[in-house]
Structure 1
């Protein structure tokens, strides 16, 4: 979305998707462009920037293939690839420059070009740039005019609504310009597969969303004032970077960990709007079950106790840190976190601690791929910490590295060999991890490389892998707004993470990509230094998992509960693995960003 030099509002297909997610955020952006409010600043994110670069590279590969197939544009022959130059700088918001690009596109269509790259659309209120319009000669049989199919290159693994809306917008505008459009529009996905979709099925959805967007624009502009938080005319998601400060300012019930937007609406209908009101509320709420409501109230009470109204901040998020291997003292103690172990019996179902227990964490890049390969993702580090043999001893950290597909297979083989040997010495050991990624990644790797499939399946069926996240969510409440392991660490870690280093999975991925760039440039010292930083982060995660297990057992023991049963087998394992399913929400976030890498720019 942007304003023309004459003040007219111009939107793109990306704005339709953004408005479907959060109308309040879209109107805040519009307010900044209208001069009614300060711009909404998005924090820089190196991981998302990398995803955008990879998305652009995917588009360029497709373009080169079309150039190789059809050659450059030859006006005399009327064949080849026409490449439309997008207006830049001030011209990107200039009505005449946009109209000129649109006319250049229509001219290329009339001339019968084989392919038009970055085809420009502009009707005074909508603008867009289609990746590829490809002449469909088969559809032209028996006709006297060219037919064109709309193609967009998307890094995603599956067709998604934002991409389909873009295709529908371009197809609809082509028809409005009198261009013959093939019945199907197409996505060229990151694995080079092509999905096809009926244009007539998509256009009604596109038009409905565009009508809604234009309606809220008109309503808001007529107000002649910035959009107000809580304006019932406009939907707010309550989760995005634009909504979050308002949620905190008003102490909205969405501050409660695990509370859903649908539950928020039902609480609001009952007059419960803040976390403080929920914490002291009583009685039933229509549409929310009694057990769920009891749990939400208990969670709210803990968060209010930890961060009462008027306190600065609503939860202690990140603490000063050092790496676990340094042993350096913290400048200040980790922040206090309120908690209650409400179901100690759940902790009692954990396996009895065994000297052979190991604590496991993957580091992987979901966007990594070898040249000319359609297989995505590399698990570049299998990190393991062994339970210390004596109290107070430093846990042993064992990394299994992989820097290409061959090494990934070998790392899997070596890891399974290590587990097999350790099981021979400690038959009752368990492998602890936090959240389901490790299980799904092991299954995916075994299927990808055709090694260890029966062994991985056996480990899962026998309950050797233990997900502590499931235990935490079924037994523990804290005053934190998140149950990520990082937010639990003040409960049991003596040292906090080094905020100047690698602290998140996204940081690890970017650090690894930077390390590979240094290696490829011949800087082996820089390469090794970056790998060391990733290893420190991974080691901390593994040690954190160990400390969490011990802390949970100690708190349960204080209530007279000790482990008394082995972990139940994982009945969800059926031996059938979807190689594209990795259980990691980061993947969808990155791919969505890469697919919409020009959101907020002219013609996005």
Structure 2
């Protein structure tokens, strides 16, 4: 958004941002008018994301060249290049005076237009695995601007994501035109509205998903702090905020003083008490069987405290680049993986270690904070078709203990977020690595991983990241110990110890399958890139032996994951229904 001459010009990104946050449109407009200055904001993670986006776009252009297409890059006049019939036009500047945009690629197709026996369709290169609404709106705008040059609207628009051999996802333009025109008209009306009308409508910086990427975050967050916004109440949902506003409750203070005994009111009361007394407080909830403190098993000398560091943007599907764990004696182990081969070895070595340790300490458990760690192990087991029996044994045996779930079901505390770091005020853990320093080094490491610049990873960076991971593992152990003190002296049951061993029938069948797999994979390199055609065919056949069982396993893992969630947590799950209460039987 900018004022060029006397006219306000809007861009494709303005459309996407308006869809993400209407208040952002108002802030950008005030900046364009010179009424507000955008805060200075630096995020090395976003810089890395931009670099990866450029790298992905360059790779796609190279792909087009390898197909024998002529690719015209930066600085070219898009309209002139389209009239000449260039195969592909990169970074094409498009404008009609009011609206402007820069399309990643205009690709020539065999569809007649006023240009000749050809026309153009828009291609956008994106890193996101799922195409978002904002991307579709941008593509619609580019397609409209292209139509003004060639005389008709392109039939399709395309999105190319990494890891799919550059095969584009196609969207039919006409199917999205109506919604595009609606959002576009709404934005045009918005920027033409006088300030008084926008303010009377109630433009407010309510937190949205886009906040994590927004330059205006500090400005909006300061406004929310000043207003004591309800979003600072830990665990509150957007639906609850809407309901409270309908009751004229708009601040944490007002919520804390409500007469209702609902859990969210109690949460606000605890946070208000901490704000006024500067003393952290917590309250233990009513003890329920199989929930909260009842989920804590008997401590064992073999217990393990686990934490992963991962980057979802490395290659296709992300990379678990650091698996760290500590034991009861405080000893910490860091297992690094900077590529797929190392990731597999790390995963297999960890599970082999756990099984050996489990044979030594049958009562051991693996503690973690949040569901991420067992989910990551399941993902790795599926990715490499490896160690699934060992992982199944741990899952069946209830070896994994999620301390986040224990905390959420056991108590309420005067924190804005129930993170491992926010709870350290109660557990008493002191970190060795400064969190700001850790964040910066995490970004540097992940930036190098995403660009495949392994030589650019400094030893000091790895040392700091490992130190941060070590702190998380030791903090998890400290949290477990603190939770144990809360149950001390109380009659609270513990989970029964389970063996985790499969049934004889399942085990016998599995042994037969493994024997066949071993014969097929004999003398076959682990790395698929090093396999010849015959070896790769045998490798594929070996994977097919267990394909249905692996697919079925994923469904069961998801079923048991949902079973472990609270009613409150199930509210955020698309595949579950929560909050139902039996009223009466009808019919029959």
TM-score range, shorter chain: 0.7 to 0.9
TM-score normalised by structure 1 residue count = 0.76
Against the structure 1 CA distance between its residues 487 and 413, is the aligned structure 2 distance closer, same or farther, given a 3 Å change threshold? same
Against the structure 1 CA distance between its residues 206 and 11, is the aligned structure 2 distance closer, same or farther, given a 3 Å change threshold? same
Post-superposition Cα deviations, 1:335-368, rounded to whole Å, max 9, x if no partner, equal 8422112144421222111111101011122222
How many Å separate the matches in 1 of 2:483 and 2:335? 28
Which residue number corresponds to residue 359 of structure 1?
305
- Give, in angstroms, the shift of residue 257 of structure 1: 1.1
How many Å separate the matches in 1 of 2:153 and 2:98? 22
SS in structure 2 at match of 1:247: helix
- Give, in angstroms, the shift of residue 26 of structure 1: 2.4
How many Å separate the matches in 2 of 1:9 and 1:497? 51
The partner residue of 1:191 within 126, 140, 163 is: 163
Post-superposition Cα deviations, 1:455-513, rounded to whole Å, max 9, x if no partner, equal 22332232211111111222221111111111111111341353266445x75253354
Answer yes or no: is the 8 Å Cα contact 1:359–1:546 preserved in 2: yes
- Give, in angstroms, the shift of residue 418 of structure 1: 0.3
* Structure 1, gaps ≥5 residues long: 72-79, 86-100, 284-292, 312-334, 370-374, 389-394, 584-604
SS in structure 2 at match of 1:36: coil
How many Å separate the matches in 2 of 1:520 and 1:381? 14
Against the structure 1 CA distance between its residues 567 and 477, is the aligned structure 2 distance closer, same or farther, given a 3 Å change threshold? farther
SS in structure 1 at match of 2:298: coil
Which residue number corresponds to residue 405 of structure 1?
340
Alignment of structure 1 residues 263-278 onto 2, 5 Å: 263-278=240-255
- Give, in angstroms, the shift of residue 194 of structure 1: 2.0
- Give, in angstroms, the shift of residue 517 of structure 1: 9.1
How many Å separate the matches in 2 of 1:41 and 1:429? 50
The partner residue of 2:444 within 510, 519, 530 is: 510
Confirm or deny that 1:200 pairs with 2:199: no
Against the structure 1 CA distance between its residues 297 and 447, is the aligned structure 2 distance closer, same or farther, given a 3 Å change threshold? same
How many Å separate the matches in 2 of 1:515 and 1:215? 44
Against the structure 1 CA distance between its residues 486 and 277, is the aligned structure 2 distance closer, same or farther, given a 3 Å change threshold? same
Confirm or deny that 1:381 pairs with 2:322: yes
Post-superposition Cα deviations, 1:141-172, rounded to whole Å, max 9, x if no partner, equal 9x953132211111111222122111111112
Confirm or deny that 1:492 pairs with 2:427: yes
Alignment of structure 1 residues 194-273 onto 2, 5 Å: 194-219=168-193, 222-223=194-195, 231-234=200-203, 236-239=205-208, 240=211, 241=217, 242-273=219-250
Post-superposition Cα deviations, 1:405-451, rounded to whole Å, max 9, x if no partner, equal 11111111111110010001011211111111111111111111221
SS in structure 1 at match of 2:422: helix
How many Å separate the matches in 2 of 1:276 and 1:493? 28
Which residue number corresponds to residue 330 of structure 1?
none
Which residue number corresponds to residue 3 of structure 2?
3
The partner residue of 2:554 within 570, 576, 600 is: 576
The partner residue of 1:339 within 282, 285, 289 is: 282
Which residue number corresponds to residue 488 of structure 2?
557
Post-superposition Cα deviations, 1:168-193, rounded to whole Å, max 9, x if no partner, equal 11112222334444422110012234
TM-score normalised by structure 2 residue count = 0.77
SS in structure 1 at match of 2:401: strand
Against the structure 1 CA distance between its residues 471 and 260, is the aligned structure 2 distance closer, same or farther, given a 3 Å change threshold? same
Aligned CA-pair RMSD: 3.0
Answer yes or no: is the 8 Å Cα contact 1:108–1:116 preserved in 2: yes
How many Å separate the matches in 2 of 1:223 and 1:515? 46
Post-superposition Cα deviations, 1:543-580, rounded to whole Å, max 9, x if no partner, equal 111111111121122554363545999xxx9512799x
Which residue number corresponds to residue 67 of structure 2?
69
From the two aligned structures, give the one with the greater helix fraction. 2
How many Å separate the matches in 2 of 1:545 and 1:179? 63
How many Å separate the matches in 2 of 1:168 and 1:251? 39
Higher mean C-alpha displacement, 255-264 vs 266-275:
255-264
The partner residue of 2:86 within 113, 129, 133 is: 113
Which residue number corresponds to residue 388 of structure 2?
453
SS in structure 1 at match of 2:140: helix
Against the structure 1 CA distance between its residues 24 and 203, is the aligned structure 2 distance closer, same or farther, given a 3 Å change threshold? same
How many Å separate the matches in 1 of 2:116 and 2:450? 53
How many Å separate the matches in 2 of 1:160 and 1:577? 26
Which residue number corresponds to residue 12 of structure 1?
11
Against the structure 1 CA distance between its residues 383 and 336, is the aligned structure 2 distance closer, same or farther, given a 3 Å change threshold? farther
SS in structure 2 at match of 1:364: strand
- Give, in angstroms, the shift of residue 128 of structure 1: 0.5
- Give, in angstroms, the shift of residue 244 of structure 1: 1.8
How many Å separate the matches in 2 of 1:502 and 1:366? 21
Against the structure 1 CA distance between its residues 567 and 182, is the aligned structure 2 distance closer, same or farther, given a 3 Å change threshold? farther
Higher relative contact order (CA 8 A, sep 6+): 1
Against the structure 1 CA distance between its residues 12 and 460, is the aligned structure 2 distance closer, same or farther, given a 3 Å change threshold? farther
Answer yes or no: is the 8 Å Cα contact 2:301–2:361 preserved in 1: yes
Confirm or deny that 1:479 pairs with 2:432: no
The partner residue of 2:95 within 116, 122, 134 is: 122
Alignment of structure 1 residues 579-590 onto 2, 5 Å: none
Post-superposition Cα deviations, 1:30-64, rounded to whole Å, max 9, x if no partner, equal 21221222x23153111121111111110111112
SS in structure 2 at match of 1:307: helix
* Structure 2, gaps ≥5 residues long: 212-216, 501-550, 562-588
Against the structure 1 CA distance between its residues 508 and 566, is the aligned structure 2 distance closer, same or farther, given a 3 Å change threshold? farther
- Give, in angstroms, the shift of residue 267 of structure 1: 1.0
Confirm or deny that 1:168 pairs with 2:140: yes
Which residue number corresponds to residue 428 of structure 1?
363
SS in structure 1 at match of 2:553: coil
Confirm or deny that 1:546 pairs with 2:477: yes
SS in structure 2 at match of 1:129: strand
